[in-house]
Amino acid sequence: MAVDSPCISICKFDEKTGFCIGCLRTKDECKQWKKMKDKHRVRIIDDRSARKAKLKKHKK
């Protein structure tokens, strides 16, 4: 099972959370994505809702 990258080519990082505002990954996660095991990729994808909420909270 290959897990596709969530990248949508925005690649701008929020200073407070460290998350990309496009794909909601950290810089390290973006850099390591191709080397990650699928189970780790799935965890990141599954955590996107929580990350989005955290990003919205810090934008206020």
| pLDDT tens readout for residues 7-48 | 999 999 999 999 999 999 999 999 999 999 999 999 999 999
User: Does residue 5 sit within a domain?
Assistant: no
User: Does residue 32 sit within a domain?
Assistant: yes
Q: Give the burial class of 26: count Cβ atoms within 10 A of its Cβ; 0-12 exposed, 13-18 middle, 19 or more buried.
A: middle
pTM for the complete prediction? 0.89
Q: Which residue range forms the structural domain that includes residue 33?
A: 28-59
User: Does residue 41 sit within a domain?
Assistant: yes
Contacts 24+ apart (CB under 8 A), 33-40: 33/5, 38/1, 38/2, 38/3
User: Does residue 53 sit within a domain?
Assistant: yes
Residue 3, token pair as written in the block: 């897990």
Per-residue pLDDT at 60 exceeds 80: no
User: Does residue 10 sit within a domain?
Assistant: no
Q: How many domains does the chain have?
A: 1
User: Does residue 22 sit within a domain?
Assistant: no
